[in-house]
Amino acid sequence: MPLKETFLSLKKAQALLALQNRSQKDAALLAAAAAINSARAAILSANAADVERAKSGGMKEALVDRLFLDDSRIDSIIEGIKTVAGLDDPAGRVKAGWKTPNGLFIEECTVPLGVAAIIYESRPNVTADAASLAYKAGCAILLRGSSAALESNRAITAAFRQGLESGGGIAEAVELAGSGDRGDVDEILSARGLVDVVLPRGGHDLIRRVVENARVPVIETGEGNCHIFADASADIPAAVDIIENAKVQKPGACNAVETVLVHRDIISALMPALAARLAGRVELRCDAASKAAVSKAGVPAGLVLKDASEADWAEEFLDYILAVKTVDSTEQAIEHINRWGTRNSEAILTNDMKNAETFTQKVDAACVYTNASTRFTDGGVFGFGAELGISTQKFHARGPMGLDALTTTKYRISGQGHIRGRE
Amino acid sequence: MPLKETFLSLKKAQALLALQNRSQKDAALLAAAAAINSARAAILSANAADVERAKSGGMKEALVDRLFLDDSRIDSIIEGIKTVAGLDDPAGRVKAGWKTPNGLFIEECTVPLGVAAIIYESRPNVTADAASLAYKAGCAILLRGSSAALESNRAITAAFRQGLESGGGIAEAVELAGSGDRGDVDEILSARGLVDVVLPRGGHDLIRRVVENARVPVIETGEGNCHIFADASADIPAAVDIIENAKVQKPGACNAVETVLVHRDIISALMPALAARLAGRVELRCDAASKAAVSKAGVPAGLVLKDASEADWAEEFLDYILAVKTVDSTEQAIEHINRWGTRNSEAILTNDMKNAETFTQKVDAACVYTNASTRFTDGGVFGFGAELGISTQKFHARGPMGLDALTTTKYRISGQGHIRGRE
């Protein structure tokens, strides 16, 4: 059916879902997990078809791997659903309550945001992941995966819905955008009044396209040109450990560091140690002073050492590449970060409390770290139980998102025949 | 200068403003209030010029009155600024803080949203009102008033900025879009990355235009097709008082009632009493059953009694007109409201707790009332001290907005050399 019809049916289903209490939602989710387990064969053969089509279509090996499912990956999909079932219900919380001078009693309660849509790339695990998070929050969801994963997504969605059904849940609250054609996306992005939030999940281009064309609320995620500033008082061995961790532990993550800013006073102490640690694993793109410091101490075997250009300050490498810039002050570091950063995760390494506070206050980002790796920006690490993504916008949700990002509020006001007086 | 330049200068000013503590901001605001007081003559003569131009241009009397300023209106502008100075600082609040299992300390703090823009119609008081609210929240603001009020807005903004300056504040955080030409609005609505929120304030058409064309975050306000449902157990005299209040106390307000839904069981008891109360003041547009109930009891002198058409269910009259529909159940009332309402303020009048709870849960609106007038939906009444508007959207802010709507959050994370382990 056309997406408009789908959205209207999702809206109906969401109204029913909103009335389910936590135990009802959890029972349905656990049944969905069980249904995915029993549907392994169907899911694997559907996935095999997708993989086959992708390979014969000449898809890159790395992308084919993201698409690929096996028993252990299905196990983690099932675990993911169970985890969500174990989370607190974000809806139905009373955030505040008070009595007004004239005796009205007002309560501010959390309620589901409504109908969500997720537009994502080839990982089929996102299908069950997003469906369970939305369901737990009381939101109906339209799943718009990539055409490459269409068969896999169909099999997973079918099992998930059948599970919800058998668990006494509302299967109609989860729908897959079946066609897989790009027109779907434009239809979703212009569905004013039909969709309450769109969650793009994937590469830079997908997110850009969604954010720039959306006529509906979007939560932007995933960009991360992150920095670590080692100030003059930084502990050198700790700095080397943290920078290495932030760069190599998962270079493809949005919270990985891309540029290191080093105070001129420690350039000759930090750079040789850092170069030695990263040699053979990370290419360094250095400004003049930091490059000189490495050369002076002797370039370690296997180190790729290049000159940084301004383009490197803007680049999110998502790779084993690190840009290095020398700065003369905390202010200069802050200026660089606020100019080139993407407001995701930024860190200062220091033993100077004044610099730490200045940096934390002035750097405009969702997460600002002192003496820790930027890699900790994560819903799981933060204790939210599930990762809805890392919002890089300031509106509605910012930083690692738990289920709360899928809620809004409703004021419940009760009186005893109260009428308003003349103003 | 072109608006892009203005936005960049506002961004710079906002970064400085964000560092001011509450007492600094309040001192600057009180100085701004004093400056407006000393600039009365200049403001009044500028306003006289606007009014003159408006009249010779044939502007409607009511609109000219909205534009008009006198000493008492300037007094209330000054009072408004002082009130905002007296409000708590919405920024710098620690919303939550915890230690993760690995010993990272995380704090979630409120910070100013950034650069705001307000697009509003002829009331010049909005100029000082919006400027002071934004300033208090630590946001820089672009004021885009109507060309009709340009001279008045220039005089008010000049005085306000001079006051900020003299009070040790940051005058550059408040800018007026000087040209008054419509191109400004399109430039604001497409200023991605330059403006963090746009607040439209004015009539239906202005808000529609902004919401439908914005490429930047918007907080939608002002729409209100509100309902009151009198169920079978409603107290009749209280119902008459509440409906009268919700309709006539301020018919032009977005929280005034437009349609009353009456349970069939009390139609013959409620309608004659309601008709008698509203006769000569409010035109009734009734469905068959409610009209018959009025006629049967005898149409009161001076009552305008018409047949309701479906168009009336959709209409926000903002006038002395009330639509009346008979329903057979709470479910039917909820269905009507969720179909035709604008999610602003909805009320049930009942003595049946089950109906009250069903209505409150199922009606999708920012504010749901039990046994009270819908007219209470207001930042002042709710105790927020100042009215930023009533958000009719679910994203970021919903219902009456205090200064919190102009904030976002920042996570401050501190470690002791923490690095992330392998996953």
| Tokens 């072109």 sit on residue | B2
Q: Do B212 and A197 touch (CB under 8 A)?
A: no
What is the average pLDDT across A232-257?
Answer: 97
pLDDT given at position A1 = 61
Question: Is residue A69 within 8 Å of residue A171, measured between CB atoms?
Answer: no
A15 and A158 both lie in a single domain: yes
pLDDT greater than 90 at residue A360: yes
Alpha-carbon gap, residue A120 to A420, rounded angstroms = 49
What is the average pLDDT across B98-110?
Answer: 97
A402 and A369 both lie in a single domain: no
B237 and B190 both lie in a single domain: no
CATH classification at residue B345: 3.40.309.10
Alpha-carbon gap, residue B111 to B315, rounded angstroms = 39
DSSP category for residue A142:
E
Question: Is residue B249 within 8 Å of residue B365, measured between CB atoms?
Answer: no
B202 band by pLDDT with thresholds 50, 70 and 90: confident
- Percent of chain B at pLDDT exceeding 90: 90
* Residues of chain A contacting B414 with CB distance shorter than 8 Å: 356, 369-372
- Percent of chain A at pLDDT exceeding 90: 90
- By three-state DSSP, how is residue B235 classified? coil
Alpha-carbon gap, residue B409 to A365, rounded angstroms = 9
CA distance B376 to chain A (A): 6
A230: closest CA among A288, A274, A278?
A274
A340 and A247 both lie in a single domain: yes
**Mean predicted lDDT score pLDDT of chain B:** 95
B162 and B266 both lie in a single domain: no
- By three-state DSSP, how is residue B146 classified? coil
DSSP category for residue A221:
B
pLDDT digits (tens, 9 = 90+) for A39-96: 999 999 999 999 999 999 999 998 899 999 999 999 999 999 999 999 999 999 999 9
Two tokens, residue B277: 């109360």
Two tokens, residue B250: 């301020």
Residue A421 lies in a domain: no
Residue B383 lies in a domain: no
Residue A348 lies in a domain: yes
DSSP category for residue A32:
H
* DSSP class per residue in B71-115: HHHHHHHHHHHHHHHTSPPSSS-EEEEEE-TTS-EEEEEEEE--E
A213 and A230 both lie in a single domain: no
Q: What helix, strand, coil percent values describe chain A, rounded to 5?
A: 45, 20, 30
B209 and B281 both lie in a single domain: no
B216 and B290 both lie in a single domain: no
Backbone CA torsion sign across A249, A250, A256, A262: positive
B236: closest CA among B267, B260, B259?
B267
* Residues of chain A contacting B217 with CB distance shorter than 8 Å: 393, 395
pLDDT given at position B81 = 96
What is the average pLDDT across B112-132?
Answer: 94
Question: Is residue B350 within 8 Å of residue A417, measured between CB atoms?
Answer: no
pLDDT greater than 90 at residue B292: yes
pLDDT digits (tens, 9 = 90+) for B336-356: 999 999 999 999 999 999 999
B179 band by pLDDT with thresholds 50, 70 and 90: low
Residue B199 lies in a domain: yes
pLDDT given at position B264 = 98
CATH classification at residue A131: 3.40.605.10
pLDDT greater than 90 at residue B127: yes
Alpha-carbon gap, residue A22 to A219, rounded angstroms = 25
What is the average pLDDT across B249-254?
Answer: 93
Q: Which residue has the higher pLDDT, A408 or B212?
A: A408
pLDDT digits (tens, 9 = 90+) for B19-33: 999 999 999 999 999
- By three-state DSSP, how is residue A64 classified? helix
Portion 380-419 of B in contact with A at CB < 8 A: 381-383, 393-396, 398-400, 408-419
Strand partners, A157: none
- By three-state DSSP, how is residue A140 classified? strand
Residues with Cβ within 8 Å of residue A144, at least 6 apart in sequence: A117, A118, A119, A120, A176, A177, A184, A185, A188
Residue A423 lies in a domain: no
pLDDT greater than 80 at residue A32: yes
pLDDT given at position A423 = 59
Q: Which amino acid is at B245?
A: N
Q: At B281, phi and psi to the nearest 5?
A: -120, -35
A411 band by pLDDT with thresholds 50, 70 and 90: very high
pLDDT given at position A386 = 78
Burial classification of residue B12, based on how many CB atoms lie within 10 Å of its CB (0-12 exposed, 13-18 middle, 19 or more buried): middle
Provide the number of CB pairs (under 8 Å) joining chain A to chain B: 190
What is the average pLDDT across A3-29?
Answer: 97
B40 band by pLDDT with thresholds 50, 70 and 90: very high
CA distance A366 to chain B (A): 5
Residue B19 lies in a domain: yes
pLDDT given at position B25 = 98
Question: Which alpha helices (DSSP H) does A249-329 contain, by range?
Answer: 267-278, 288-297, 310-314
pLDDT given at position A388 = 85
B62 band by pLDDT with thresholds 50, 70 and 90: confident
| Tokens 């999708």 sit on residue | B364
Residue A419 lies in a domain: no
Range of the domain at B239: 226-376
Q: What helix, strand, coil percent values describe chain B, rounded to 5?
A: 45, 20, 30
pLDDT greater than 80 at residue B178: no
Strand partners, B37: none
A331 and A202 both lie in a single domain: no
B278 and B304 both lie in a single domain: yes
pLDDT greater than 80 at residue B256: yes
Task: Please state the domain count of chain A.
Answer: 2
B20: closest CA among B101, B92, B127, B122?
B92
Residue B381 lies in a domain: no
Alpha-carbon gap, residue B131 to B140, rounded angstroms = 8
B122 band by pLDDT with thresholds 50, 70 and 90: confident
- By three-state DSSP, how is residue A320 classified? coil
B301 and B336 both lie in a single domain: yes
Q: Which residue has the higher pLDDT, A386 or B290?
A: B290
Alpha-carbon gap, residue A144 to A150, rounded angstroms = 9
pLDDT given at position A387 = 79
pLDDT given at position B1 = 61
Rounded to the nearest angstrom, the gap between the alpha carbon of residue A224 and the centroid of all alpha carbons in its chain is 10
pLDDT digits (tens, 9 = 90+) for A152-172: 999 999 999 999 999 999 999
A245 and A286 both lie in a single domain: yes
Closest Cα in chain A to B92: A361
DSSP category for residue A218:
B
pLDDT greater than 90 at residue B230: yes
Alpha-carbon gap, residue A409 to B398, rounded angstroms = 7
B294 band by pLDDT with thresholds 50, 70 and 90: very high
pLDDT digits (tens, 9 = 90+) for A118-153: 999 878 999 999 999 999 999 999 999 999 999 999
* Residues of chain B contacting A381 with CB distance shorter than 8 Å: 100, 104, 420
pLDDT greater than 90 at residue B149: yes
Question: Is residue A128 within 8 Å of residue A36, measured between CB atoms?
Answer: yes
Q: Which residue has the higher pLDDT, A265 or A383?
A: A265
pLDDT greater than 80 at residue B180: no
Q: At A61, phi and psi to the nearest 5?
A: -55, -45
CA distance B66 to chain A (A): 17
Give the CA-trace dihedral at A357, A363, A368, A373, to 10 degrees: -100
pLDDT greater than 70 at residue A181: no
pLDDT given at position B248 = 97
- By three-state DSSP, how is residue A340 classified? helix
pLDDT given at position B375 = 97
- By three-state DSSP, how is residue A397 classified? coil
Instruction: Note whether B98 contacts A: Cβ–Cβ < 8 A.
Output: yes
pLDDT digits (tens, 9 = 90+) for A106-115: 999 999 999 9
